[in-house]
DNA sequence: CTAAGTGTATTATATCACTTAATACACTTG
DNA sequence: CAAGTGTATTAAGTGATATAATACACTTAG
């Protein structure tokens, strides 16, 4: 149940998921939503580890995955930076959204809901939005 | 990569998820979709364990969760049976579907998609359905 | 050049979820 | 009574996760 502000980023850490996944997801979200600007530097491995009171290796694991996502670039001796390419971020958003949708539809179909069921169901669920 | 037919139920087992979760999900789906009739007996713990070549304790874990879902009832000395109540099955479907939708929407919002974004996105994704 | 701060790599250890194994008990039915 | 149910217990093994300590290569500020 940690609750930390590091630079411009707010971290919510608990024990419901692996730590490195939570860090990864919160960076993904912050970058995707533009809460961190393109090209910005993100906290160093040691700095974030110290702030969140976790091991540097755990932060490293999240940062490596971020780079594989194409969301960050690392410069040895300088730090880790958000990609300057809006296209890369958009590609990531589009790709992950596709996976989310596929797996959501599969879940619903496993419960016996057809595609049209899903649409009407979701309309009811979010009338006000 | 197991692929087994046990009674009227077909099982797909791999190592991508815990075994007990896969068994659980496949029973949930079979019952929700009506592929197993209300009141039917499902395989005994030992029988399913033997057929899938896994430990009885692992099957037990899945069966206990099924009962907590309200989808099955156990009769000591007789076996495990699908609930005879259509209402219970419908309640389970409705409840789980709600959780799926909530978590799906949260995922999409974390990627920066608004509710209207999601709807148009999903329409494109499934034009033919 | 030096010191401090970067990312990176390695080795060891600890914990927890998951799974298996072996065994035993209580209950029901033929 | 025998065979088949669900259930409980104890022990052990494995892999993912996380920590700890340490070291190396690189970059920049001073």
Q: Which of A12, A16, A111, A118 to mutate to test the interface with B (most CBs of B within 10 A)?
A: A111
Average pLDDT along chain A: 93
Give the N- to C-terminal CA distance of chain A in Å, as an integer. 30
| Alpha-carbon gap, residue A52 to A11, rounded angstroms | 8
Q: 3-class DSSP state for residue A1? A: coil
DSSP string, chain B: -EEEEETTEEEEE-SSS-HHHHHHHHHHHHHHTTSS-TTPEEPPHHHHHHHHTS-HHHHHHHHHHHHHTTSEEEETTTEEEE-S-HHHHHHHHHHHHHHHHHHHHHHHHHTT--HHHHHHHHHHHTS--
pLDDT digits (tens, 9 = 90+) for A60-70: 999 999 999 99
Q: Which long-range contacts (C-beta less than 8 Å, at least 24 apart) are formed by B80-85?
A: B80/B41, B80/B42, B80/B44, B80/B45, B81/B39, B81/B40, B81/B41, B81/B42, B82/B31, B82/B36, B82/B37, B82/B38, B82/B39, B82/B40, B82/B41, B82/B42, B83/B38, B83/B39, B84/B38, B84/B39, B85/B38
Q: Which whole number is the average pLDDT over B65-78?
A: 96
The percent of residues in chain B predicted with pLDDT above 90, rounded, is 81
Mean pLDDT, rounded, for B85-107: 96
Closest C1' nucleotide to B67's CA: D6
User: Per residue in B4-19, pLDDT tens?
Assistant: 898 888 999 999 999 9
The residue in chain A having the minimum alpha-carbon distance to the alpha carbon of residue B33 is A112
Strands (E), A76-120: 79-82
Phi, psi of A91, rounded to the nearest 5 degrees: -60, -40
* Shortest-distance nucleotide from B56 CA to C1': C20
pLDDT bracket for residue B72 (50, 70, 90): very high
d(CA A37, CA A17): 27
The strand pairing partners of B39, in sequence order, are: none
How many angstroms away from the CA of A10 is the closest CA of chain B?
A: 14
Do A101 and B122 make contact, defined as CB atoms within 8 angstroms? yes
In three-state secondary structure terms, A25 is helix
CA atoms of A55 and A67, how far apart (whole Å) = 19
Task: Work out if A77's Cβ lies within 7 angstroms of strand D.
Answer: yes
Chain A CB within 8 Å of residue B55 CB? no
pLDDT band at B110 (very low <50, low <70, confident <90, very high): very high
Q: Over 80: is that where the pLDDT of A120 sits? A: yes
Task: With CB atoms and an 8 Å threshold, state whether A129 touches B110.
Answer: no
Helix (H, G, I), strand (E, B) or coil at A5: strand
Does the pLDDT at position A87 exceed 60?
yes
At residue A8, the pLDDT reads 82
> What pLDDT band is residue A3 in, cutting at 50, 70 and 90?
confident
Given CATH 1.10.10.10, say whether it is the number of domain B2-84.
Answer: yes
Per-residue pLDDT tens over the stretch A23-48: 999 999 999 999 999 999 999 999 99
List the B89 CA – C19 C1' distance (angstroms).
30
Task: Quote the pLDDT of residue A127.
Answer: 58
Res A128 pLDDT > 60? no
* pLDDT value of residue B1: 61
CB contact, 8 Å: B38 with chain A? Answer: no
Per-residue confidence (pLDDT) for residue B25, from 0 to 100: 98
Put simply, the answer to whether A111 touches B93 (Cβ < 8 Å) is yes
Mean pLDDT, residues A79-102: 97
Q: Is the pLDDT of residue B129 over 60?
A: no
Rounded to a whole number of angstroms, the distance from the CA of B78 to the nearest CA of chain A is: 28
């Amino acid at each position: 149940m940690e609750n930390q502000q590091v630079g411009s980023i707010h971290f919510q850490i608990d024990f419901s998921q692996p730590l490195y996944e939570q860090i990864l997801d919160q960076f993904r979200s912050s970058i995707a939503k533009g809460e961190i600007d393109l090209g910005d530097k993100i906290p160093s491995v040691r700095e974030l580890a110290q702030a969140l009171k976790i091991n540097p290796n755990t932060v490293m694991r999240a940062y490596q995955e971020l780079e594989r996502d194409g969301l960050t670039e690392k410069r040895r001796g300088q730090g880790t930076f958000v990609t300057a390419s809006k296209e890369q971020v958009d590609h990531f958003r589009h790709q992950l959204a596709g996976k989310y949708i596929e797996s959501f539809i599969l879940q619903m179909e496993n419960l016996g809901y057809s595609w049209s069921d899903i649409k009407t169901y979701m309309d009811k669920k979010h009338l006000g939005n």
